Amino acid sequence: MSAIVFEHCTLLDVQQGQMLPDRSIMVVGERIEEVSDSRIRRADARRIDVHGRTVMPGLCDAHVHVTQLDPNLQALRHAAPSYVSAQASVVMRDMLRRGFTTVRDAGGADYGLADAVAEGLFEGPRLLFSGHALSQTGGHGDMRQRGEDRVDFCPACVGRAGRICDGVDEVRRAARDELRKGASQIKLMVNGGVTSPLDRIDSTQFSLDEIRAAVDEAQAQHRYVMAHAYTPEAINRALECGVRSIEHGSLLDPETADHIVRKNAFLVPTIVVLRAMVQRGESVGLTALLRAKAAEVETSAMHALEIAMRAGVKMAFGSDLFGPMLSCQSEEFAIRSEVQKPIDVIRSATLHAAELFNMTGEIGVVAPGAYADILVVDGDPLANINLLQDQGKHLDAIMKGGAFVVNRL
């Protein structure tokens, strides 16, 4: 099997938070075989001199919606699956070219998109999909207007992010069905949201028994539950039921942050989507109601990030963008660096995301045995985290699973 050796690398060790000069990295197939502080001797290797540039792991985004290119989320209910898939291929290609080599879809993507990426039919990040997010009637995943009574649900249709289920038996059946189709995790809506038309942000959703049913089914198949939650009340209910990943958490308080730590759970803040909705929402056609709900939450999101950081909460990187705002994905780095150190933000998109995904040692590191998901950055992202923005402009090489996506070296 042919080998590629990167030479004269400045390796960003994300675990130690250090820049290690003059490293060599050998890739064989889709994995990293060796990392050395001396020249790697292999006669048949293709050698690439990076001239001291920073080499770091590919990035992870733990909260994306690759099927939601239309800013009118309700339009997805009526779009042809083939058209949604075509749009998703463009979304995923752009994510990969920003340096994101693994993403977790929080509702809408399915096994077809994941297989298309894995087989090379679509260019995109490794895709961990939730299938349809589970929502109660009138919950965050129920996109019907007040005058609509009929529930149109097609289990096979990509792009329809919400699946309505009420009662323990329905929740259990829905979770089993999404897991049957290969979901990497189950997504629950346990709180009101910004983009849903009728629920209040402070409403709690699903009974405790319903949440436990979904957690039980996920754990039975060695998977876990991620839960959309903003308020302390909703977060605490989810944690007590065994939810592992809290999405957003924008109204977090110190006591709840401590609860997340005690439960060894994760928080996935998604501040960039709120800021984008406030700043760009009108230009992309969001209603005044949705923009007002986003502004209400956005004012608290940065404070919640500070609380989580002080409490030592494990945080993974997330964006949650949709429509034309998807291009803002990497701006989450700059937003978080207003509160966190650059290395901690980078860890959220590498080490912490890998742990959350149950892929520790496989992604999020440049180390022997890991997938060869490698970025070559023209500069030092610890000194200037904005090098991870600008749609991949500063990434001279992007490799996913041992194959170059971008190579300007």
Number of continuous H segments (helices) and E segments (strands) in the chain:
11, 18
Reduced to 3 states (helix: H, G, I; strand: E, B; else coil), residue 144 is coil
User: Under 8 Å CB-to-CB from 347, ≥6 apart: which residues?
Assistant: 14, 17
Give the pLDDT score at 195: 75
Q: What mean pLDDT is predicted for residues 145-162?
A: 61
Average pLDDT over residues 377-406: 97
Residue 153 burial (CB < 10 Å; 0-12/13-18/19+)? middle
Contact 122, 143 (CB under 8 A): no
What does DSSP assign to residue 194? S
Q: What is the number of structural domains in the chain? A: 2
Residues 103 and 222 reside in one and the same domain = yes
Output the domain CATH number for residue 41. Answer: 2.30.40.10
**How far apart (Å, rounded) are the C-alpha atoms in residues 51 and 153?**
54
Which of 137-141, 166-170, 186-190, 204-208 is predicted with the least confidence, judged by mean pLDDT? 137-141
Return the half-sphere exposure (C-beta side, CA atoms, 13 A cut-off) of residue 316: 30
Cα 33 from Cα 11, distance rounded (Å): 15
pLDDT of res. 395: 98
- The crossing angle, in degrees rounded to 10, of helices 111-118 and 81-97 is 50
In this prediction the pTM is: 0.95
**DSSP run (H or E) holding 21:** strand 18-28
- Residues 91, 33 within the same domain: no
Residues 122 and 258 reside in one and the same domain: yes
Which whole number is the average pLDDT over 351-361? Answer: 98
Q: Are 380 and 403 in the same domain?
A: yes
Amino acid 194: pLDDT: 80
* CA neighbor of 356 nearest in space, from 319, 313, 387, 324: 313
Which of 356, 372, 391 lies at the terminal end of a domain, its last residue?
Answer: 356
Nearest to 99 by CA among 55, 164, 154, 142: 55
Residue 36 shares a structural domain with residue 139: no
Worst-scoring range by mean pLDDT, 200-209, 262-271, 350-359?
Answer: 200-209
Roughly what angle, to the nearest 10 degrees, separates helices 271-280 and 288-311?
150
pLDDT of residue 289: 79
User: Do 261 and 389 have their domain in common?
Assistant: no
What pLDDT score was predicted for residue 158? 59
- Residue 279 and residue 303 in one domain: yes
Residues 269 and 186 occupy one common structural domain: yes
Whether residue 302 sits in one domain with residue 229: yes
| Rounded mean pLDDT, 165-177 | 97
pLDDT of 294-314, one tens digit each?
A: 888 888 999 999 999 999 999
Looking at the fold, whether 7 and 104 belong to one and the same domain comes out as no
Evaluate if residue 157 carries a pLDDT over 70. no
pLDDT in tens, 53-100: 999 999 999 999 999 887 666 666 677 889 999 999 999 999 999 999
Residues 191 and 203: beta-carbon distance below 8 Å: yes
Whether 133 and 169 share a structural domain? yes
Q: Average pLDDT, stretch 359-373?
A: 98
* pLDDT digits 0-9 by tens, 215-237: 999 999 999 999 999 999 999 99
| Model confidence band, residue 135 (pLDDT cutoffs 50, 70, 90) | very high
pLDDT of residue 193: 82
Q: Is the pLDDT at 159 greater than 80, yes or no?
A: no
Least confident of 86-95, 155-164, 260-269, 307-316: 155-164
Mean pLDDT for the stretch of residues 284-288: 82
The predicted pLDDT at position 280 comes to: 87
- Which CATH number does the domain housing residue 84 bear? 3.20.20.140
Query: pLDDT band at 141, cuts 50/70/90?
Result: confident
Residues of the domain holding 372: 3-57+364-407
For residue 156, pLDDT beyond 60: no
The rounded mean pLDDT for the chain is 93
Q: Considering the chain, what percentage of its residues have pLDDT values greater than 90?
A: 79
Query: In this structure, are 207 and 341 located in the same domain?
Result: yes
pLDDT in tens, 178-218: 999 999 999 999 998 887 767 788 899 999 999 999 999 99
